[in-house]
Structure 1
């Protein structure tokens, strides 16, 4: 086992020197897993008398790796920050945002009497939740000038037929030719699953404003009207409110809200933003490399670039959340 740990350690060092974040992250996880498996083996398979002696030796080995792990983690933090700056390219984004603000299309969202709002939904396999939860909540909106743009992450005959049966001219449905390519491990996949479908749905939007919604979440009846009024009154490019996050496994509820947006305290399910921002900002399929969920990665970049925001602590949506550890296929 020690030789295996040594090989993994060498792999980590090599990857750091080569500036390969994907492989480095995987190597560190493998190292920690190997170390844990080593201890588990000792606990389960060695007699008590011998185990005490061997665990003492293993603890010495474990301690000897702590400095190396601390060093590797420190290097990974620096490496991740380097990658973040490269991916964000904030100075370039600021310049594009400044140019966008001088266009005629930018003003439309603030000057139209009753602007069209595009509810953007990326979907996958949740046909029932899409129709009975997400779409049903949109159809209950007090603000009625909206469209629903749904993009499925790959072909889905069942969803296509079910949406066709609704015969609602406000719903437009599209499918990607194939499902997006995501990281193999569960946590990383959870962070970015649905990215291509979400970006495509935003690109297809015809409204002056976009209201993001997941296929198993729901708006409050005043969601669109309240956030639209807030954004236009404050001349904010993005308006957002609070959400109730329902854990569908343990049935707990959590309030999600902060001003300004903070990680784990913001979700685009509770937001409305100018469609014109889509030409500058998209979800990043590489957000997992920074250990950032897609929503946080996007709002963090918007904040850094200077997108104007307005917030209300009023609850505007419900997020029906299943922890990624319980998802069969995110």
Structure 2
């Protein structure tokens, strides 16, 4: 069966369920089809299950009974979410049963899988801590422990209209930078911003076009040369934009700092919302879910709340300004980590107060036709 995207007519809840179920591997097409009897075979079985089958009591696989799951767990029914989508995102890790009478061998296997997931998460924490030690993060940890409870550090959570630095690295995309990225920043409902744009050795008219915007909040700094980065390829993709991000660190004046890729966009209330959440939770580091652009032009919310690779991206974080002392690591590719996750992992080593907000506040414009990086003339490379 060919891969399909969620229909444009789906509600946001249905889109979320569709994406979760399709990625989960828990939808058995042959089993589902066997329950349709004389019904016309739908072109997209997962879409049919999300919109109709779940209400008809159809099972997505031999081991999951949606009707039983909703009766057994009334909190899921009250939330109005698809039962299988809930099981995929939460129920499995919470050790909830998928059906009333599970084969004992399957139940044992599911239990062992849950134990393995727990052990893997525990080992990942140990590895991340050891990486932090090897990467020389101990002195940052000690400094953070000294400052985190001081009046000056905590004062930013009480500021009525704090200055927020929005850090944007850019290279060769002035149209997207100005018409999409900066438009979403300049029109934020929270207006006290330092919009810090750093060019990764831009050789086009980016500077002139930014000046023409005539917004005193925008500061542009262009690097005299690009990189150095790894040569074009996957390693380059992992750490692209690291150097201008580091140029922005000492220039950042905000009580809080956030980031945006030059081809993405914020929801217009994003910064105001995150300031409110920071006051409520006094979180040093906030990350949130985001809208993910699909091939058919539709948007699907993404973000499971776990602090892990693939779930924490730079354009989805908001943190206390103190963390500007922590640089991005251009050599993160050596451990095959994207630069944004590497940065978040190293902040996590400091054990900050973290908070996840299940609200999609950034739009990630996945470019499905994106070409590979092309080196500039005379560019120097790492390794």
Normalised TM-score (structure 2): 0.60
Cα drift, residue 235 of structure 1: 0.6
**C-alpha separation between the residues in 1 aligned to 2:369 and 2:307?**
22
Instruction: State the superposition RMSD in angstroms.
Output: 2.4
Cα drift, residue 322 of structure 1: 2.8
**C-alpha separation between the residues in 2 aligned to 1:96 and 1:105?**
14
**C-alpha separation between the residues in 2 aligned to 1:203 and 1:319?**
27
The C-alpha deviation readout for 1:231-265, integer Å capped at 9, x for no partner, is: 12101111221111225x67565533132322111
**C-alpha separation between the residues in 2 aligned to 1:328 and 1:314?**
32
Where is the strand percentage greater, Structure 1 or Structure 2? 1
Give 1:303's aligned residue: 348
Give 1:15's aligned residue: none
Cα drift, residue 83 of structure 1: 9.2
Equivalent pair of 1:186/1:325 in contact (CA under 8 Å)? no
Cα drift, residue 295 of structure 1: 1.0
**C-alpha separation between the residues in 2 aligned to 1:251 and 1:96?**
46
**C-alpha separation between the residues in 2 aligned to 1:326 and 1:250?**
19
Where is the helix percentage greater, Structure 1 or Structure 2? 1
Q: Unpaired runs of 5+ in structure 1? A: 1-79
**C-alpha separation between the residues in 1 aligned to 2:345 and 2:243?**
19
- Note closer, same or farther for the CA distance 1:259–1:199 as it changes in structure 2 (3 Å cut): same
Give 1:231's aligned residue: 278
Matched, 1:265 2:311: yes
Equivalent pair of 2:156/2:255 in contact (CA under 8 Å)? yes
Matched, 1:96 2:143: yes
Give 1:289's aligned residue: 334
Matched, 1:108 2:139: no
- Note closer, same or farther for the CA distance 1:105–1:159 as it changes in structure 2 (3 Å cut): farther
2:260 aligned residue (213, 218, 228): 213
The C-alpha deviation readout for 1:269-314, integer Å capped at 9, x for no partner, is: 12211111111x2211110000000111111111122021111111
Equivalent pair of 1:118/1:211 in contact (CA under 8 Å)? yes
The C-alpha deviation readout for 1:207-245, integer Å capped at 9, x for no partner, is: 111111111110001110111111121011112211112
Give 2:320's aligned residue: 274
Equivalent pair of 1:227/1:241 in contact (CA under 8 Å)? no
Give 1:255's aligned residue: 301
Equivalent pair of 2:289/2:305 in contact (CA under 8 Å)? no
Give 1:188's aligned residue: 235
Equivalent pair of 1:100/1:276 in contact (CA under 8 Å)? no
1:120-269 alignment, distance < 5 Å: 120-246=167-293, 251=297, 253-269=299-315
Answer with 148-157 or 116-125: which moved more.
Answer: 148-157
**C-alpha separation between the residues in 2 aligned to 1:252 and 1:312?**
22
Q: Unpaired runs of 5+ in structure 2? A: 1-126, 376-383
Equivalent pair of 1:155/1:175 in contact (CA under 8 Å)? yes
